Structure 1
Amino acid sequence: MKTSKSSFILGTFTFAFCLPSAVSLETVTIPEKLKSAMVKVSVSTTSCSVTCGLGFKVEEMCEIGSDGERRHCTFRRSDCLTSWICGLLHFTVRVGKPFELSCLTSEMIGVGSQAFIYTWRLARGIITTNDMLFKSIKTPSYVIKLSPAKESDAGTYRCDVQLMKTFKLVKRIYFGLRVIPTDLIELNFYKSLTLEQKLAEYKKEGNGGNGTSFLSQWQQDSWQRRASFVFLVGIGSGVTAGILVGAVVFFLLKARRKNEVREG
């Protein structure tokens, strides 16, 4: 009996679906409550705030009725994840200088740093993304502070960020860190510029006052360079002229002595 009843129900549904569309439209009626129903849907959304790791997007939520009109629209912020791999960042720091490595962005900190689990690993002394070369280091925080930085701190740091609730991996980032002695190289780029380059840099940044002071300094140094050049040229010309005059006098005296010897 159960089998025959099930077969009867299945046959009824099959017959209903096989009816012509005209018959279906005539027999189906939309209840009044369904006509007045409102559905809340997302009508627009922004792109994710970050290209990797956990970010956020803003969605516009509206109620839409059977007439298709939007009503009571609100904006909602929701999490988004485009890619959990963030690649490798390079840093160079001098020995003795404080330095920090942070694997959270401002968007993730806004969610709450306690909502994540952080796992740090280190490949000491090399810059690499080969996960086989990393060893675990104990630090529960999302930031590693080097105060001060030592040459032994150089290497590649890897940070994995997981959600506390689901243990889902939402970010992996590598930090390639070079630590160099203080006397190895001058890292002050601005200090290494010439006066002309400094003047051009200030013109680009629109710093009129500082640019004027550098212009006057550049003009003064240019005048000093020109004066030094003229002075050196004058000295060189005088020395050259003296050598030529001395050589002429020497040859004249030598010729005179030869004539005296012949006459004697």
Structure 2
Amino acid sequence: MKTSGNHPVLGAFCCAFYLPLVASMEKVTIPAELRTAMAEIAVNTTSCSVTCGPGYKLERLCSVTATGERRNCTIRRSGCLTTWACGMVHFTIPVGKPFQFNCLSPDEVGFEREAYFYTWRFAQSLITMNDMMFKPLKNTESLVRLSPARESDAGTYRCDMQLVKTFRVIKRIYFGVRVIQNELVNLNFQKSLTWEQKVFYDYLVGIGSGVIGGTLVGMVLCCVQRFLRRAANKPAKI
């Protein structure tokens, strides 16, 4: 049997483990230029100003020395993007009323406005997020104006905000718009009820009011029990 001393492979492994130990024992000299050098680092940052689409965040930048000392701290606003899917927003508007909705919210100012464009699609008379139901809508602005609103304007509007350079979608939002007649806007439910329906409605409201409803029911049950007891104790007439 051969020993490790005359085995070439084991000898190479020994040298490989020995060399790093020798190198680690040598002193490392840090140049004077690096000792006084400073790096600009973001030491603190806020969350994005919006939950979806492009927004902005505030960062605190400081010059940090080799000893960890912070100097010349400033606040910088930079763009951020959490997610591109924003879901749906619902609106109900009367016929003939001017109305508009915007794909760009006031807090979405993290990116340059010239860096992206808008693509609109429309699903008439449908409140849906099924992309197969939409047709192109001729509008290149960030908002849609209904002046005035018509019944044919009802449906779902989809807005895609895309980067000019890469055509990447950075925001998609749906606007569900319902357009109703003016006489349906200020409906008074109680005026349309008969006298019997109003009594029953008030009774349901009282029952649904929690403690008051429970108290009324308890009083009624107590009265019923007393009446039954008196009727049971009363002697029968011959």
Tell me if TM exceeds 0.5.
yes
Matches within 5 A, 1:24-173: 24-108=24-108, 111-173=111-173
Higher-Rg member (1/2): 1
Instruction: Tell me the amino acid that sits aligned with residue 93 of structure 2.
Output: V
**Per-residue Cα deviation, 1:215-234 (whole angstroms, up to 9, x for no partner):** xxxxxxxxxxxxxxxxxxxx
**Structure with higher helix content:** 1
1:51 partner amino acid: T
Distance 1:58 1:91 in 2: 33
Structure 1 pair 74–25 and aligned structure 2 pair: CA distance change class (3 A): farther
Structure 1 residue aligned with 2:183? 183
Question: Within 1, Cα distance between the matches of 2:178 and 2:128?
Answer: 12
Measure, in 2, the Cα distance between the counterparts of 1:130 and 1:116: 24
Write the distance in 2 (CA, Å) between the matches of 1:99 and 1:187. 21
CA distance in 1, matches of 2:63, 2:128: 51
**Deviations 1:61-83 (CA, angstroms, capped at 9, x unpaired):** 11111111001111111000111
Q: Secondary structure at the match of 1:19?
A: helix
Measure, in 1, the Cα distance between the counterparts of 2:53 and 2:157: 17
1:124-175 CA-partner distances (Å, limit 9, x unpaired): 1010000111111111100110000000000000000012233221110000
Structure 1 length normalisation: TM-score? 0.61
Number of matched pairs: 175
- Structure 1 residues not aligned, in runs of 5+: 1-14, 189-264
Question: What is the distance in 2 between the residues matched to 1:25 and 1:31?
Answer: 19
Q: CA deviation at 1:27?
A: 3.9
- Report deviation, 1:108: 2.8
Give the match for residue 212 of structure 1.
Answer: none
Match of 1:240 in 2: none
Aligned-partner Cα distance in 2 for 1:142–1:48: 21
Aligned equivalents of 2:120, 2:49: Cα separation in 1: 25
Structure 1 runs of 4+ aligned residues shifted over 4 Å read: 15-18, 109-112
Provide the residue aligned with 1:262 in structure 2: none
> Structure 1 77/187 Cα, relative in aligned 2: closer, same or farther at 3 Å?
farther
Q: Gapped runs of 5+ residues in structure 2?
A: 1-14, 189-238
The 2-side partners of 1:72 and 1:165 are apart by 35
Matched residues in 2 for 1:116 and 1:22: separation?
Answer: 58
**Residues 1:30 and 1:109: Cα distance change in structure 2 (over 3 Å):** closer
Please report the TM-score for the alignment, with normalisation by the length of structure 2.
0.68
Change (3 A) 1:84 1:187: farther
Structure 1 stretch displaced more, 161-170 or 16-25: 16-25
**Amino acid aligned to 1:68:** G
In structure 1, C-alpha distance between the alignment counterparts of 2:67 and 2:134, rounded to whole Å: 60
Question: What secondary structure, in the 3-state scheme, does the structure 1 residue paired with 2:44 have?
Answer: strand
